[in-house]
Chain A
Amino acid sequence: MVNPVRNNKLAENAKMKDKNTISNGVKFAIKNLDIWFGTIHALKQVSMEIEANEILGAIGPSSSGKTTFLRMLNRLNDLSPNFRMNGEVKLENDNIKNIDAQFLRKRVGMVFALPLSLPLSIFDNVAYGVKMHGVKNKKLLQNKVEESLKEAYLWDEVKDRLNESAFKLSGGQQQRLCIARTLAVSPEVILFDEPCSGLDPISTAKVEDAMVKLKQKYTIVLVTNNVKQAARVSDRTAFFLNGELIELDKTELIFTGPKDKRTDGYIRGKFG
């Protein structure tokens, strides 16, 4: 399951870290994080670091807290009325509680499980976030939209129909549109929540390609129900079970010799 191309990527990646990143290459530092929704204890004593410019895969059975973990990182959980948390999440040395939610979400973008296009044109979907951050200049918007669509490998397919409704695109195209939309606000981190769950293998491959390329500029956290996808794209993989972080290690190690039996059981398909 380990492929040499990816090992090269890892090596490259290690070099990049030295060059480009602040705070010793650690993007998120999470310490003793507990999350509750009412009486449900959704995350239990999770501690980990997310490194800059890595793809961190998160796997685990249903209701193991993967989405909750992801939505913690851009404080989208705050929208749930019965949400409570304990512990500390730091984005480059700032506790995210002290970062204004709007600003945090600009830095930490998210791509949802289903392709959730906004009921706007293709162009306006991509331009939406940028506009909300106060950019009005038409030319600037156009450049940004084009650049983002290219980065998401969608430009060639939509460049002649930018004013059509986004709902006219196929599911796979819409998901790449959602990626472009997230890229347009120039985040540092992109959170993907099962981005390929509704897509066919070819669209999935396109989205995965996009993610691997994006890693050069962004830090990526990828929640996936598809264990093979984590093996294909992620640099390190975290295994969640019942709200606990069971194991986090280099993807090769997780998939060849995990330390915990439960990880082994899951990736061999024993449960979940």
Chain B
Amino acid sequence: MRNPYRSQKIAFFFLFLATLLIVVPVGLIVIVIIQKGLPAISWQFLSDIPRQGMRSGGIFPAIIGTLYLVSGAIIFALPIGLLAAIYLSEYSKDNLLTRIIKLAIVNLAGVPSVVYGLFGLALFVVFLKFGVSILSGSLTLGIMILPVIITTSREALESVPQSFREVSLSLGASKWQTIRHIVLPNAIPGILTGTILGLGRAAGETAPILFTVAAFYLPQLPKSIFDQAMALPYHLYVISTQVPNVDEKIRYGTALVLLTLVLFMNLVAIVIRYKFRKKKKW
């Protein structure tokens, strides 16, 4: 027999190695982007429109466009997603149909984003005649992040102990009062996490906005939700592949801004979770 203590040590070593294998490449990417992008960051870069065929100037319209799209997506997806999650976790009966629906929603989260892009093109741009616009793009992104929001919210709601519901009902509260005052408040951290993960995804994806909203080059800000807009991920794609001779600095600078935006949102999620977890006591 081998010494069990030694095999434990070996197991720990491999587990540690596996973790390292994940952390190191991600860390490297971030470091490279920061290193190469940071010199580009300046007030002018953040606040100016792109100039000289996007080879100089700033990325302000793309930042604004992405913010619009993300806000639009969340305004659309959060209420619908939350209501769907409440229905699925609190009201629907546990039967085959419900289970199929839940499974389908989970799987929708894994559908490639370009499929959502095509769907958005067909439904919003062409069929509903919203045109290539912020509205179409926001709705497409919203639909793309709905599954994430529904699934995480539903799991958050379901993780609230059944006993809390029974206590509330046993005191004569109605089902809706129970959901509103007991279940929802205790599910907020999970719901927010799902929402912000969805937001991060919406901010970073290129394919869904490609056909539905993104403008190749639009040096002014959108005036209404029926305008086209630039967006960070698409802009990055354009200056990296479609326009020759763009300074590396500008490309990495754009990537850095996008990365910071997404990381910032995740950070907000972490802080909110942490705050709520300190209060949570069961």
Contacts and interface: CB of A to CB of B under 8 A. Distances in A.
A and B are interacting partners: yes
B142 to A, nearest CB: 32
B282 A185 contact: no
B129 interface: no
Nearest to B172: A106
A119 to B, nearest CB: 6
Given A81-B93, A118-B182, A167-B281, A128 B172 contact: no
A81 B94 contact: yes
Contacts of A119: 164, 185-186, 279-282
A119 B279 CA distance: 9
Interface residues of B, number: 23
A182 B171 contact: yes
A14 to B, nearest CB: 30
Interface centre among B163, B164, B169, B181 (most CB of A within 10 A): B169
Interface in A110-160: 110, 112, 114, 116, 118-119, 128-129, 132-133
B173 A102 contact: yes
B166 interface: yes
B71 interface: no
A11 B166 CA distance: 36
A103 B172 contact: yes
B177 interface: yes
A155 B163 CA distance: 25
Nearest to A124: B181
A196 to B, nearest CB: 18
A133 B172 contact: yes
Contacts of B177: 132
A79 interface: yes
Given A119-B280, A119-B281, A132-B181, A102 B172 contact: yes
B171 A129 contact: yes
Contacts of B282: 119, 167
Contacts of A181: 171
A176 interface: no
A76 interface: yes
B169 A79 contact: yes
Interface in B229-282: 279-282
A185 B186 CA distance: 23
A27 interface: no
A185 B170 CA distance: 11
Contacts, number: 68
B35 interface: no
A105 B171 contact: yes
Interface string B129-166: 00000000000000000000000000000000001111
A74 interface: yes
Contacts of A106: 171-172
B88 to A, nearest CB: 15
B266 to A, nearest CB: 26
Interface centre among B172, B182, B281 (most CB of A within 10 A): B172
Given A81-B93, A119-B186, A119-B281, A185 B166 contact: no
A129 B171 CA distance: 5
Nearest to A107: B172
B158 to A, nearest CB: 15
A182 B164 CA distance: 14
Nearest to A105: B172
Given A81-B93, A132-B181, A116 B172 contact: no
A133 B280 CA distance: 26
Contacts of B44: none
B227 to A, nearest CB: 46
17 contacts: A81-B94, A109-B170, A109-B171, A112-B167, A116-B163, A116-B167, A118-B167, A118-B168, A119-B185, A128-B171, A128-B181, A132-B168, A132-B171, A165-B279, A167-B281, A185-B171, A185-B172
Please provide the 7 A-B residue pairs with the shortest distance between their CB atoms, ordered closest to farther: A106-B172, A129-B171, A132-B173, A167-B281, A110-B170, A105-B172, A132-B177
Interface of A: 74, 76, 79, 81, 101-103, 105-106, 109-110, 112, 114, 116, 118-119, 128-129, 132-133, 165, 167, 178, 181-182, 185
Given A74-B170, A116-B163, A119-B164, 12 more contacts: A76-B170, A81-B94, A112-B166, A114-B163, A116-B166, A118-B168, A118-B182, A119-B281, A128-B173, A129-B173, A132-B177, A182-B170
